[in-house]
Amino acid sequence: MSMVAFISPFVNDPFALVCQAYKNLYDKPFTAFFDQHEDDDHKEEYGFTHFVEGEIPQIVIFAEHSINVCVETFAHELAHVAVGVEHEHDEIWNAAFDAIFTEYNRLGEELYGKEEGAGDE
Ligand SMILES: [Zn+2]
């Protein structure tokens, strides 16, 4: 697959910020896609990560939700990438999710100051 690196047109792209938070903490590669619910597959989900042995994990985010929900879903899925599929939603996964969220807020404050921050308060 050819990979084109897009530069976000937004100066405060929360997906880019979550991605940077992840990369500051973990180094496992991933790809991420937006998708739409076109059939009943994954109907109840905000997103998921497709793990195949020996391949780079693929994160899918369902795009019809709000950006806030999609960003949180992205962080959720990145925590799965960070700790591996076998941890599901155990305490190891939860620690990774918290670490990404904390780093996201730290970066947000560093870049935009406390007022605008990450907007999750
Ligand atoms: Zn999950």
pLDDT tens for each residue of 30-82:
999 999 988 777 777 899 999 999 999 999 999 999 999 999 999 999 999 99
Task: Tell me the residue range of the domain where 75 lies.
Answer: 14-110
Tens of pLDDT, residues 18-33: 999 999 999 999 999 9
Mean pLDDT of the chain: 90
Q: For residue 1, what are its two tokens?
A: 């697959």
Q: By C-alpha distance, which of 104, 97, 98 is closest to 118?
A: 104
Between the CA of 113 and the centroid of ligand 1 the distance, in Å, is 30
What's 62-87 look like in SS3?
Answer: ECCCCHHHHHHHHHHHHHHHHHCHHH
- The answer as to whether 4 is a domain residue is no
Between the CA of 98 and the centroid of ligand 1 the distance, in Å, is 13
d(CA 100, CA 71): 12
- The answer as to whether 27 is a domain residue is yes
Between the CA of 37 and the centroid of ligand 1 the distance, in Å, is 17
Q: Find the length of the chain.
A: 121
- The answer as to whether 5 is a domain residue is no
- The structural domain count of the chain equals 1
pTM to 2 decimal places: 0.87
pLDDT band at 117 (very low <50, low <70, confident <90, very high): very low
Mean pLDDT score, 70-99: 97
- The answer as to whether 9 is a domain residue is no
Between the CA of 73 and the centroid of ligand 1 the distance, in Å, is 8
- The answer as to whether 3 is a domain residue is no
- The answer as to whether 8 is a domain residue is no
Contacts of 24 (CB under 8 A, 6+ apart): 103, 107
